Structure 1
Amino acid sequence: LSRKAGRPVKLVMQRQDVFEGSGPTPGSYMRVKLGATRDGKLVAGEAYIVFDAGAFPGGVIGPGCMCVFSCYDLPHARVDGYNVVLNKPKTQAYRAPGSTHVAYACESVIDELAQQLNIDPIELRLMNAAKEG
């Protein structure tokens, strides 16, 4: 449509169209650990991520592993990711594939860390935010 019209085209899908035209998002299991100094500087992170790929390999584990700590300036990180093939329907990309799962896990741990260190969660995030370059 965009080529024929010669300009950008916006596609808005109804809820029923989304369910009929896309597949399920993958189920997941995650463990995330973060290490920090007493003043809140993040020094290390570790993530163990498992995504349900459905009946065929090729799920969204790659984007999930790349995104888990991407918001933070973390000098040392280890990420283990597994794409598990199960006897279930094939999973498909559904709004930022893989990213939302890992972001929720990482941000939950950031909140817990802020509480343990008695630091405002927003301040902890700003103090450790990744910077350009």
Structure 2
Amino acid sequence: MSSHEHDTESARIAADFVAAWDTGSPAIIADRLAERLLVGDADHTTTVGRDDLLTGMSRRAEALGAASPDAAALSATLVATEHSALGPSRLLVTATWRLAGAPGRELTLLSDFLLDVTTTPATCVAYLARQTLPV
């Protein structure tokens, strides 16, 4: 595979993973997560099981909705995706979202995902949020 073909394939894998993650649907995300994975934020890092992560994601979404003065206006928009191959079997993907709620309450969220590209679909083995959410 040429360098260009490899980069094109890496971009496709990154876009596919982030699109799945962006749905927020446990049914769609589950098969893209390792059985156990490294999860961290600005305050701590630990290993968790896939089901525990999916439960935590659902709870965080509920908490964010409850914390917003106008939960119906709460929205997250993917604004950028970058990727970098880390050898032939790993891909580092960085996604940037803008979380908007009430006027003046906009947050930029950065997340890093380490993907194992030897599986189909690529499997996330580490999820690192660069900030701790205020909920």
* Same-fold call, TM cutoff 0.5: no
TM-score with structure 1 setting the length: 0.29
Greater per-residue strand proportion:
2
